[in-house]
Amino acid sequence: MTPLATDSAAAATETLRLTLVVGSNRHGRFGPVVADWLLAHIRDRDDLVADVVDVAEAALPMSLEPTPEATAALSGITPKLARADAFVVLTPEYNHSFPAGLKNLVDWHFTQWQAKPVGLVSYGGLSGGLRAAEHLRQVFAELHAVTVRDTVSFHNAGAAFDDRGALRDPSGPDAAAKTMLDQLVWWGRALREARGRWPYGG
């Protein structure tokens, strides 16, 4: 086996760093229930290790001005995004789109998203947050990120989980999560190798 082939084989088995972005900061939000379910799936895998960035814990101003307060808030966020090989963004749907706090966190960063894959998990009422997920695809395309094709969505999310945070019928969501994470790992490995070989021209 040539050295290049050996390096590629090693890269294909290395653990990927994944950052889960929890996108809601509304009082009484349902997002942590879905996040805990998703983190359990991620932690069951030996090809992923997870960080979490929670919009509710990010005291970022909306002005995008580099104030001391913003710098302090970013110190706990930016490194998690920068070192990630892949992302999952968890979003509710507010008024047919995703929350302003999530957009603000995304907008505070640029190079951290570039040439990396993003998986989308949404929740809501009848639509399951799918309109929010589709709007995020447009945003991440502008940031030179790649959203994977398959998503996970929870329609009438509050009724899908019991009082302990367990899914009443896990078969469909569990299968959807596996498919999304498998795609994320494929793209994460491919893009990590590409970034290591060639500087991204975005």
- Domain containing 42 equals 36-197
Report the alpha-carbon distance of residue 53 to residue 83 in Å, rounded.
13
Q: What pLDDT is stored for residue 7 in this prediction?
A: 58
Q: What is the mean pLDDT of each run of 10 residues along the chain (202 residues)?
A: 55 86 95 98 98 95 93 96 98 96 97 98 95 98 98 96 96 98 98 96 77
Say how far residue 97 (Cα) sits from the centre of its chain.
Answer: 16
Q: Is residue 12 part of a domain?
A: no
What's the confidence (pLDDT) of residue 30? 96
User: Is 3 inside any structural domain?
Assistant: no
* Confidence at residue 98, expressed as pLDDT on a 0 to 100 scale: 97
Q: What is the CATH number of the domain that holds 47?
A: 3.40.50.360
Confidence at residue 190, expressed as pLDDT on a 0 to 100 scale: 98
Does 130 reside within a domain? yes
Domain count, the chain: 1
CB under 8 A, 24+ apart: contacts of 197-200: 200/114, 200/115, 200/144
Q: Amino acid identity, residue 28?
A: G
- pTM of the complete model: 0.93
Buried b (16+ CB within 10 A) or exposed e, 137-153: eebbeebebbbbeebbb
Q: Report the largest interatomic distance among the alpha carbons of the chain, rounded to a whole angstrom.
A: 56
Residue 25 in domain: no
pLDDT for the residue numbered 114: 98
What is the predicted pLDDT for the residue at 10?
54
Tell me whether residue 28 is in a domain: no
Q: Is residue 47 part of a domain?
A: yes
Helix (H) or strand (E) holding 175: helix 171-197
Residue 11's alpha-carbon distances to 7, 62, 111, in angstroms, are 6, 39, 22
Q: What's the confidence (pLDDT) of residue 169? A: 97
- Write 24-27 long-range contacts (CB < 8 A, 24+): 24/55, 24/56, 24/90, 24/91, 24/92, 24/99, 24/101, 24/102, 25/55, 25/56, 25/99, 25/101, 26/92, 26/94, 26/99
**What is the pLDDT at residue 201?**
84
Give pLDDT, residue 14.
Answer: 87
Q: What pLDDT was estimated at residue 134?
A: 98
Does 13 fall in a domain?
no
Question: Residue 2: its pLDDT value, please?
Answer: 60
- Exposure string for 70-109, b = 16+ CB within 10 A, e = fewer: beebbeebbebbeebbbbbbbbbbbeebbbebbbbbbebe
